[in-house]
Structure 1
Amino acid sequence: MTSPAALTSALRHHPEGSYCLAAAADLLISQRWLHRGDFTDRFITIGPAAFDDRTTACVDWPAAINALDAGDLACSGGEQRMLRLTAGLADGIPVDLRDALTGIDSTNVQLLVRAVLHAWECQLNG
């Protein structure tokens, strides 16, 4: 398993120019997913960047959500909701906001609001 620190750096490099991907990367990083081999080994691809010597990473969001739907990715209800919200932000995967937003705690609400505001502010000022 690649270290969470290396994944953090690689995930932050991948979304350059895409504000929603950058916000979703930060949201994913703020959760425990990068410490879980059952997530990182299956759904994160790491490789060389196209234009420089840094390492980049991307998440296969449809596969992660399909695994969640199939019950192949064990996690709590709150973790499921946050992963769905993050996938929606990153890849446009539909999420039931009524279910997702009413089932997350105040810490996760703050993380989500920060991520959305960051994407919005970057696009506004970009």
Structure 2
Amino acid sequence: MYTIEAATELLIRGFGGKFAAPGNPWVYTSSEPQGTGQVSAWIDFAAIPEEAGVLSGGERRFLLLAASLAEDVPVDLGDLVPGLDRSNLELVLAAIAHAGGSHQHSNIKTSDDGSMVLGKGYLDSLHPWPQDRPASQPAH
């Protein structure tokens, strides 16, 4: 579940959200309104590799990483990651942290006697989404 959330967030946050917009061949919308001014939409991540071939190298790399997080789309990270610009690389780091569930990890501590104790609440994400970063936490 977190992998699909992370991949979807990548499409929403990267490149001004243009790859999450209706009109892309991998974005589908319902024909029935879900409420006033609302429609249901979903992304066919498995369609991205075939449909992204006409885009720039950076856009294609970004989309392939998103597709790989959500579906069984093989990618070569050694080829894709070096071609990302800094802002998109930061989004990919946040997506990987989210996909791994780091925002839901329990605060487990070891007591003086060596036993494990569950702390209150959850730990912060290992790498928060850029817009969600607390003001006290600087950008990397």
Instruction: After TM superposition, give the deviation of residue 92 of structure 1 in Å.
Output: 2.5
| Partners of 1:78 and 1:104 within 8 A in 2 | yes
**Larger % of strand: which?**
2
Greater RCO between the two (CA within 8 Å, min separation 6)? 1
Among 110, 114, 122, which residue is 2:90 paired with?
Answer: 110
| Partners of 1:33 and 1:40 within 8 A in 2 | no
Q: Does 1:78 align with 2:58?
A: yes
Any gaps of 5 or more consecutive residues in structure 2? 107-121, 123-140
Give percent identity, aligned residues only: 32
Q: Does 1:92 align with 2:72?
A: yes
Q: Does 1:40 align with 2:23?
A: yes
CA distance in 2, matches of 1:92, 1:33: 25
Give the TM-score normalised by structure 2: 0.60
CA distance in 2, matches of 1:98, 1:48: 40
CA distance in 1, matches of 2:78, 2:59: 16
Closer/same/farther in 2, CA of residues 39 and 78 from structure 1, 3 Å limit: farther
Instruction: After TM superposition, give the deviation of residue 37 of structure 1 in Å.
Output: 9.6
Closer/same/farther in 2, CA of residues 123 and 91 from structure 1, 3 Å limit: farther
Closer/same/farther in 2, CA of residues 112 and 27 from structure 1, 3 Å limit: same
Any gaps of 5 or more consecutive residues in structure 1? 1-17
User: What's the RMSD between the two structures over aligned residues?
Assistant: 3.1
| Partners of 2:4 and 2:70 within 8 A in 1 | yes
How many residue pairs match? The answer is 103
